Structure formats: structure tokens, C-alpha cells
Amino acid sequence: MSDTTFAPTAIPTPIPLGEILPWAIFAGLLLMLAIYFIGAEEGATALFSGSNVHEFVHDGRHLLGFPCH
């Protein structure tokens, strides 16, 4: 039996902030949009008429603790 050891030769380099920042902003905007639709898309603040959006995110509202009825 031979004893072989693995010695990594590549050292991981950190990702520059300039490459992460646009994706972080994009993800933040998507999260804010999702929170709006889950938390506030109902009644007087609704962007869409009817209750289709409310019914689509209904369980998410309860999971995140938003009251709806």
C-alpha cells in the first residue's frame, strides 16, 4: 500500500467587492419586491385589482407572520 498525500497548489483568491456589489443590490431589490407582494399587496395599497396576488402568497404571509384576515 502506498501513502500518497494531496497537497493543494492553488490558493483561493477573494472575490473583489466590485464584482459582488451589483449582484447583492439585485438580490436586495428582488427581496424587497417579494416582501412587498407578501406583506402589503392587499386592500388600499394593492397594485393589482382582485385578490389573485393575495391568494398566491397567502401561505407565505402566514409563514412570515403578516396578518391578513
pTM of the predicted structure, to 2 decimals: 0.62
| C-alpha torsion sign, points 35, 39, 42, 45 | negative
Give residue 1's pLDDT band: very low, low, confident or very high (50, 70, 90): low
Helix, strand or coil, per DSSP, at residue 22: helix
Give yes or no for residue 61 having a pLDDT over 90: no
| Average pLDDT, integer, range 5-9 | 76
Distance (Å, whole) CA 48 – CA 41: 8
Q: Which of 2-6, 40-44, 50-54, 58-62 holds the top average pLDDT?
A: 58-62
